[in-house]
Chain A
Amino acid sequence: MSTTHTFTVTGMHCASCGLRIDDAIEDLPGVRRSTTSARTGRTVVEHDGLDPQDLAAAITAAGYGAELVC
């Protein structure tokens, strides 16, 4: 059963930041797909029922601010 969570991400400057965040999140077991847009400042994560706090922690560990939207 796939779940989707969206985060507002702060501290991104360019497309590389988005790629770095997606790279970090997709390293987590259970993540199917992560899509970050530096322009909109959002990360959408499709996963297999992970705790959103763990996803936010992965974004924070990569050096950015993360807040769960929905």
Chain B
Amino acid sequence: MNLLAVLLTGLFAGGLSCAAVQGGLLTGLLSRQRAAIPAGAPVTGGPPAGRQVSRQSPGGGWRRLGDDAAPVAAFLAGKLLSHTLLGLLLGAAGAALTLSLHVRAVAQLAAGVLVVVFGLAQLGVRGFRGLVIEPPASWRRLVRGRARSRTALAPAILGFTTVLIPCGVTLSVMALAVASGSAVAGAATMAVFVAGTSPLFAALGLLTTAATRARGAWQRRLAITTGVLLVGFGAYTFNGGLELTGSPLSASRIADAAGLGPPAVPIADPAGQGAQASADTGPVSITDGRQTVVITARTGAYTPANVQIQAGLPTTFVVRSSRAQGCVRSFVIPALKRQWTLPVNGDTRIELGTVKPGTLHYSCGMGMYTGKLTITERPA
């Protein structure tokens, strides 16, 4: 999972309605609390004065912003906590799905479609524009109740409960958390997203009236940027599902068909007897009629991405982990319908049997990183 892209999505989404409007809820809560204190009004008293009046006291803007820092931090901490916990659960659910390669691929395809649909809704594309997922009324009432609470912990609790009212962007990131296939990755995905929303949330959400106008001017641009990011993210996730199923419609297969795939590393010493796979001889060695091909799995790549090997030889495929982290450690060969968990360092030996001419594709467990063995006829 590319957390940087999630962070960027959060950064832009932070200025959008779902995040910035939550800032409005927090602002209302703080205004009511402040309005109640100087008047010495009982906490169960009538409605306070309009928040915009209290928020625009002359010369008090910066001081007020300073006063807001603690409750805003509490709100964001509560929000971060609940979303990270949810990410943990979603990732764990995703991990349960990954037990089967087929289910995992289907889940990833579904997540990809969902994210693209929410991205199109964000972009205001006809037919998707009206897509609004509304949580149950009881959940909304619960959040509203927290927004009108007057306890000291109210900002943190309000932040925590916002997990109950996710917008399309948040739902998209939840789908990505499921697709991440691990509890830790799911938690990280949600945490990074919420952290990303924080700067614009703090900037726009708290500056009530002025921000409402600024938000109007910027919201469209932010919505388009977030929408484009989501559509790209969804397509990337969907393609990962296609890679896992070995579909000819996956990006790597289409690139191959168009002649844009990585060039095959040729067999350095086809007749090399006793040669060991190394930097000098290339990744392929043939000893006593047995072929061994070695690729390296590092964080974010398998190298070389395309290796030429000979058909008609019993072949051992060695995946050499070198400080491998993340989803490269989940290694999938769709044609064999099998997956392996690679160590951080060390070799994983996969017996391919006697290989036939063609191409053997492989990928990481999320279909993000791919590679292939190009199997050619033995030279005459």
Contacts and interface: CB of A to CB of B under 8 A. Distances in A.
A15 B47 CA distance: 23
Interface in B140-190: 140, 143-144, 147-148, 162, 165-168
B167 A14 contact: yes
A8 interface: no
Given A39-B132, A63-B212, A13 B18 contact: yes
B24 interface: yes
B140 A15 contact: yes
Nearest to B212: A63
Contacts of A63: 212, 215-216
Contact of A16 (B17, B32, B212, B216): B17
Question: What size tier do the contact residues of chain B reach?
Answer: 20 to 34
B47 A20 contact: no
A69 interface: no
A14 B24 contact: no
B167 A13 contact: yes
B135 interface: yes
A62 B212 contact: yes
Interface of B: 16-18, 21-22, 24-25, 28, 32, 46-48, 50-52, 132-135, 140, 143-144, 147-148, 162, 165-168, 209, 212, 215-216
Given A16-B167, A27-B50, A62-B24, 20 more contacts: A12-B17, A13-B132, A14-B168, A15-B133, A15-B135, A16-B17, A16-B21, A16-B25, A17-B18, A18-B134, A19-B165, A20-B24, A20-B28, A23-B148, A24-B28, A26-B47, A37-B134, A39-B132, A61-B52, A63-B215
